[in-house]
């Protein structure tokens, strides 16, 4: 083989190796959100509270991170969770708890299972904030892109 042929083979091998290593680059980091409203609860309630949660999901690691706030609640939040799978208007079980919601700040991270990730990507996950006056949930918002 000539030096030019060896050089071309080396370049081809390097490109192939680079593509193999870069395959996780096809993973996506998605930005999602949930607008929390009393009218989205099932059943709806008359709370004047509101909230928003900004969510990031990494499709490669199945890592979920979130940061949000709630205000105007009937009292301190007693619990907050991600629930699913459920479309709007339906209730579902807790899939990810949100720690320390009583401060009005919702922040944390979790790694989802395949089932949870599929529900999230299908739009079938919601955030629910509970209070003493509304133990079933005072605010709710579907997680959307």
Residue 12 has pLDDT above 70, yes or no: no
pLDDT-derived band at 126, boundaries 50, 70, 90: very high
Question: What predicted TM-score, i.e. pTM, was given to this entire model?
Answer: 0.82
Q: What is the pLDDT of residues 88-115, one digit of tens each?
A: 999 999 999 999 999 899 999 999 999 9
CA–CA dist 128, 82 (Å, integer):
6
80 vs 65: CA distance, rounded Å:
14
Which residues touch 35 (CB under 8 Å, ≥6 apart)? Answer: 51, 52, 141
In this structure, are residues 15 and 29 in contact, taking their beta carbons and an 8 Å threshold?
no
Residue where the block lists tokens 């739009």: 123
Reference 128, options 65, 56, 34, 57; nearest CA is 34
Cβ atoms of residues 33 and 53 within 8 Å:
yes
């Amino acid at each position: 083989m000539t030096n030019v042929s060896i050089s071309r083979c080396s370049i081809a091998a390097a490109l192939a190796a680079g593509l193999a290593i870069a395959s996780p680059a096809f993973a996506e980091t998605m930005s999602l959100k949930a607008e929390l409203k009393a009218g989205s609860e099932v059943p709806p309630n008359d709370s004047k509270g509101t909230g928003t949660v900004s969510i990031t999901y990494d499709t490669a690691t199945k890592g979920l991170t979130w940061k949000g706030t709630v205000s105007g609640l009937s009292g301190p939040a007693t619990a907050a969770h991600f629930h699913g799978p459920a479309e709007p208007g339906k209730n579902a079980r807790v899939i990810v708890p949100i720690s320390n919601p009583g401060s009005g700040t919702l922040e944390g991270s979790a790694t989802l299972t395949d089932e949870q990730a599929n529900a999230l990507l299908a739009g079938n996950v919601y955030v629910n904030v509970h209070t003493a006056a509304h133990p079933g949930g005072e605010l709710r918002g579907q997680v959307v892109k």
